[in-house]
Amino acid sequence: MLDADFFRRWMTAAAASVDREAERLTALDSAIGDADHGSNMQRGFAAVVTALEAEATDTPSAVLTAAGRVLISTVGGASGPLYGTLLRRAGKALGDATEISEKQLAEALRAGVDGVMALGGAAPGDKTMVDALLPAVDALGDGFAAARVAAEEGAVATTPLQARKGRASYLGERSIGHQDPGATSSALLVAALEEAAAGARGE
């Protein structure tokens, strides 16, 4: 079962991973965007960790809704409202349970990804974060490692695609041949779930 501590570990691991990979995310965004994705993610997740240290969050839902709110208010780029929506929608779907199953997490994240697609209008194949998030949610039934692999493969598979949403879409065919920064950061967030689970086992 996954409790509020698991979700706090998820956000802490995500912040550390985004911090380590910030330069890479910004390099990807400089190829097909405006070179701010690394700094956007760093600033957003650092603020999430600070907020979770300051605020009492007793349930998985409270952790995710607080994190989503902070991302929306601290990240100026498109990714802030989108990731904020992912976490807030997932949080809302979890209600007031103090512990949830992995199956419930998968269902909640699916609601979150549906929220991302509704807000941003992106479908699979549009070369966005959706291309990593949706395969991860589909694979989550087979465990966190399977979800990580699916997200990483989804991110890599954005390279030959032409962007149809977000700034990269302004480049038209010139967006082809570059991995999408948001799909790449999504893979980091999904990988952080596995770290949070390992933390519970004391690894």
User: Coil, strand, or helix at residue 1?
Assistant: coil
**Selection from 39, 8, 31 nearest residue 185 by Cα:** 39
Draw the binding track, 26-55, toward Mg ion (x: CB under 5 A; -: no contact).
---x---xx-xx------------------
| Under rule CB under 6 A, residue 154 binds ligand ADP | no
Burial of 141 (0-12, 13-18, 19+ CB in 10 A): exposed
Nearest residue (CB) to ligand ADP, 30 versus 104: 30
Question: Is 79 within 8 Å of 129 (Cβ atoms)?
Answer: yes
The backbone torsions φ and ψ at residue 24, rounded to the nearest 5 degrees and listed phi first, read: -65, -40
| Under rule CB under 6 A, residue 61 binds ligand ADP | no
Query: How near is the Cβ of 114 to ligand ADP at its closest, in Å?
Result: 12
Q: Which does residue 23 touch among Mg ion, ligand ADP, none (CB within 5 to 8 A, set by kind)?
A: none
Rounded distance between C-alpha atoms, residue 203 and residue 192, angstroms: 14
**Selection from 15, 138, 139, 3 nearest residue 70 by Cα:** 15
Please write down the long-range contacts of 21-26, taking CB distance under 8 Å and 24 or more positions apart.
Answer: 21/184, 21/185, 21/188, 24/184, 25/181, 25/184, 25/185, 26/181
Choose which of 90, 149, 183, 196 interacts with ligand ADP (CB under 6 A): 183
| Under rule CB under 6 A, residue 180 binds ligand ADP | yes
Q: Which does residue 128 touch among Mg ion, ligand ADP, none (CB within 5 to 8 A, set by kind)?
A: ligand ADP
| Under rule CB under 6 A, residue 152 binds ligand ADP | no
Rounded distance between C-alpha atoms, residue 38 and residue 115, angstroms: 23
| Under rule CB under 6 A, residue 129 binds ligand ADP | yes
Query: How near is the Cβ of 37 to Mg ion at its closest, in Å?
Result: 5
Q: Which alpha helices (DSSP H) does 75-141 contain, by range? A: 79-93, 102-120, 130-139
Choose which of 9, 14, 181, 192 interacts with ligand ADP (CB under 6 A): 181
Reported as type and span, the H/E element at residue 3 is strand 2-3
Binding-site size for ligand ADP (CB under 6 A) equals 24
Draw the binding track, 85-114, toward ligand ADP (x: CB under 6 A; -: no contact).
------------------------------
| Under rule CB under 6 A, residue 42 binds ligand ADP | no
Residues that bind Mg ion (CB under 5 A): 29, 33-34, 36-37, 77
